[in-house]
Chain A
Amino acid sequence: MHRVDPRIKIISAALLTVICFFLSDPVALMVLLAFLLVLISSTGVSLRTYSSSFWLVARFSIILFIIWPFFDQAGSPVLFDLVIYKPTVPALLRAFVISMRIFVIASGWLLLMLSTRQGLLVRGFVKLGCPYDFGISLSIALRYIPNFLGTIDQIKEAQKARGLDTSKGNIVGRAKNMMPVLIPTFAMAFRAIEGLSEALLSRGYGACPNRTYYRDIRMKASDFATMTCIMVAASALLILDLSGKVNL
């Protein structure tokens, strides 16, 4: 997966998201999820990284699965009757389809993020027609995110040493307590903008509007084959789902 052209991976993830909104067959979605999990395991990413992302997705899916029957009580048989909560088998099946859909979309994008280096991801977006200026902005953003997270942690520790407590109180109170952390963070961000713009200017950024690339990405025969396979699989899934649609 790491060797596949980033453009193919970006297009596939976007295509997968669109297709997921049309698929309503639980079996098709489960097959798709199993296929994606196999691909994710082939990236060699540790299970810990993967499970931390999946825990949030699972939590949302479980909440959705529990809440859904409150408003959807169509169909029979009714599993149990708690006056306002009457989960029926078809309603739970619909909730399951949406939960699966969430898992498939999440897996598709996680696969892209876990198997593509930042630089290649940005270059892929630029090659797909995104302006170069936004490409470089995105690179800067990806480069600065860990910096800002580190800075915020440092400021938080420093303010805690001065007596700040951000762990007590209600939501508004706790959010308000973050003010002494947020003001220095924003001031540092604007200083970073000044420094960075000077650095870009001194390196002649924008002097030549026609950009050339030292290392360019090119589509290989294997990339075209991957793209064809994805297109065929996506079309087959859609046709199968639309023709033999499960009556939810």
Chain B
Amino acid sequence: MAERDSTRKKIRKPMSPKKVAIYGVSMALVAALTYIGFPITATRGYFNFGEVAIFFIAFMIGWREAAICGAIGATIIDLILAPFFAPATLVAKAIEGALAGMIIIAFINTKWPTLVRTAAFCAGGGLMVATYFIYEWLVLPLGVFSQDVSFYSGIGPALAELPFNIVQAVACGAIAIMLAKGIERAYPRIADFRD
């Protein structure tokens, strides 16, 4: 009997087809929206809409989907365009999606959904910005710090990217809130997708 139980435990229950479709299409959506965007002349950076998809999935579907699809979808594009950012993207987007989604679930029956969504994107976006900042400041220059070279030496490139990342998170969060409202009206069956 015990043997049969252990065999049962080894076979993992597969995901439902709907879940597989949600994960697949959401990853593709995050990747496609990360790919499209426009260059910013002032910072020489690139504004993309990947964050919009991550926040939207966190608002409308669930935190697991937002974390996994956000992380993998954005990393797929990073591996092609800027592979040195891929490790940071994998962690940053996963944290961002998970935190934003968890805040939405914690206040699911709220009377002020816009306020909760704003708090969710601020918290998730804040952590995403912090993760990229730490990666560029401390992880990329790992090994070059010594007694003569302080940790502050590497802060320059990280500071240069910081305002751009903040603008990206705030703008995408605001768009995701407007988008969630628009989609709720245009496609009411979206409620069936919630985790």
Contact = CB atoms under 8 A, between A and B. Distances in A.
Interface residues of A, number: 79
A49 B44 CA distance: 22
Interface in B24-40: 24-29, 31-33, 35-36, 38, 40
A134 B71 CA distance: 13
A229 interface: no
Interface stretch (B95-103, B104-112, B122-130, B134-142): B134-142
Contact of B160 (A67, A109, A112): A67
Interface residues of B, number: 74
- The residue among B14, B68, B150, B171 with the most chain A CB atoms within 10 A of its own CB is B14
Given A63-B157, A171-B47, A206-B14, A53 B80 contact: yes
A200 B15 CA distance: 11
Interface in B67-112: 68, 72-73, 76, 79-84, 86-87
Given A108-B83, A144-B24, A205 B17 contact: yes
B143 to A, nearest CB: 4
B56 A186 contact: yes
Interface string A53-64: 100110110011
Interface string A174-187: 11101100110111
A112 B167 CA distance: 32
A140 B81 contact: no
Given A149-B36, A193-B193, A72 B17 contact: no
Interface string A85-105: 000000100100110011001
A134 B29 CA distance: 16
- Binding site of B, secondary structure by majority: helix, strand, loop or mixed? helix
B148 A74 contact: yes
A70 B154 CA distance: 9
A71 to B, nearest CB: 4
B17 A206 contact: yes
Given A98-B144, A140-B21, A57 B82 contact: yes
Given A57-B82, A206-B17, A74 B153 contact: yes
Interface in B160-195: 160, 167, 171-172, 174-175, 178-179, 182-183, 186-187, 189-190, 193
17 contacts: A56-B81, A63-B157, A71-B156, A94-B153, A105-B83, A106-B83, A140-B23, A147-B28, A152-B33, A172-B171, A182-B49, A186-B183, A190-B187, A193-B22, A196-B24, A209-B14, A248-B144
Interface of A: 17, 21-24, 53, 56-57, 59-60, 63-64, 67-68, 70-72, 74-75, 91, 94, 97-98, 101-102, 105-106, 108-110, 112-113, 131-134, 136-145, 147-149, 152, 166-167, 171-172, 174-176, 178-179, 182-183, 185-187, 189-190, 192-194, 196-198, 200-201, 205-206, 209-210, 248
